[in-house]
Structure 1
Amino acid sequence: MNQQQQNGTQLSANMPPNMSHGGHELFDAHEVIGGVTGLLDQYQMYTQHIQDPELKDILNRQTSFMTELYNTVVESYQTGQKPSQSTKVYNMTQSNDVMYGLQPSQPAKPIQSINELSDDHISSFMLGQVKGLASTMAMTALEMTNPVLRRVIGDSVPNLIEMSYEVFLYQNKHGYYQVPQLAEQDMTQMLQSHVPAPHPPLN
């Protein structure tokens, strides 16, 4: 028995890749996989209520992408090795044009019937789920010990950010997500409230 095993410790190089996980990491990874599953399940529920073909297209493309991601995460989680399908880059179809300013709109309130569900509601649900999963993955990647699983989950965060932005842009374009701005004088003051720092001298 070597010294590490006598001390109750073991170097990752001495263990099979599928066992190269810390206990906390397993719980976090389980939460991430559950989050992806939850998003896919919810998207299935939304699809029958969507009216706008554009929103349906966003949902279908995000569903396809997240299904592939689910399989990649599960494989790397179970094997601890490089997955057979590497992570990909999600490319949205929305333009980056944002409409600023507020337009009059009806005050919001909880719906009383499933028949009141609109594309406004569904796109809001989608945005909330993708943003929540992005946060979970970002925090989880910081505490992964297995280098492969860490990379798979960490590389997925920018894709979820892109998916969130895509849904936001859809909502903004349709007036569901309005973006107020500060008065020009206040904005200018805020933008000029920092100056570059000098480079520190080399020691």
Structure 2
Amino acid sequence: MFTQPSESQGNQQPISMNHGAHEVMDVHEVLSACIGALNQCVLMRNQIQDPELLGILDRQYAFMLDEYNITAEAYKTGHDPKHPTKTYNMQMGNDVKYGLSAGEPKKPIQSPNEVDDEIIAGALLSMHKTSAVGKTQAALESTNPVVRRVLQDSVPNSVEMAYEISLYLNKRGMYQVPQLAQPDMNIMLNAYGQAGKAKNMPN
């Protein structure tokens, strides 16, 4: 239900109405995508076989649910939510296995019976990547300072959750990370030098 802004002096508006149109629409998309992600977690949970993946999903679901609630609260009221954005911390090391090995070509499944842990983890990874992009876009468009801060503080959490899932998949050979040949890698890594201050810029 939408309410009309109250009469006020000058250009002042009630803080709950302190939103630009782009902000309102972009945050609407973020919250809708968040609901979709949470719903997918509920739908996928009982199909998970690996206890480690189940633990990751449960931790991420609880975190995303709380983050959804505070974002929705800030969006609706324009005020600080009941607590600041928390920080998601994954519970695994960040060792990555590099290199490629040949395998069966990837393709869409043809039956729900084909859903396995790799497909579920891949869906989670896609959700977090999409979330990071959507939150960033919405934060860039937000004029309400509270909403902007909640969104920008939550972007690293989406990145961290995506990283956790990618490491889970990588550890099992399901998310391969190619590398350049050493000479090409050296060329790329040494392609940039340190910059000095331009002569017309102040100290």
Answer whether TM exceeds 0.5 for this pair.
Answer: yes
Mark the runs of 5 or more structure 2 residues left unpaired by the alignment. 1-8
Looking at structure 1, the residues matched to 161 and 14 of structure 2 have their Cα atoms a distance apart, in angstroms, of 35
Task: Give the 4+ runs in structure 1 shifted more than 6 A.
Answer: none
Q: TM-score, normalised by structure 2?
A: 0.91
Instruction: Pick from 47, 50, 59 the counterpart of residue 49 of structure 1.
Output: 47
3-state SS of paired residue (2:49):
coil
Alignment-derived partner of residue 29 in structure 1: 27
Which residue in 1 is equivalent to 2:3?
none
Structure 1 equivalent of residue 58 of structure 2: 60
Residue 75 of structure 1: aligned partner: 73
- Distance apart, 1:82 and its partner CA: 0.7
Structure 2 equivalent of residue 3 of structure 1? none
* Runs (5+) with no aligned partner, structure 1: 1-8
Matched, 1:198 2:196: yes
Which sits farther off after the overlay, 141-150 or 99-108? 99-108
1:23-47 C-alpha deviation (Å, 9 max, x unpaired): 2211111111101111101111111
2:114 maps to 116
Match of 1:96 in 2: 94
Matched, 1:158 2:156: yes
Between the two proteins, what is the percent identity of the paired residues? 48
| 2:14 paired with 1:16 | yes
* TM-score where L is the length of structure 1: 0.91
Change (3 A) 1:10 1:145: farther
Q: 2 CA distance for matches of 1:57 and 1:73?
A: 24
Greater mean deviation of Cα atoms: 190-199 or 68-77: 190-199
Aligned-pair Cα RMSD in Å: 1.4
What is the CA–CA distance in structure 1 between the aligned matches of 2:191 and 2:71, rounded to whole Å?
43
Map of 2:127 onto structure 1: 129
Say how many residue pairs are matched.
193
Distance 1:187 1:60 in 2: 38
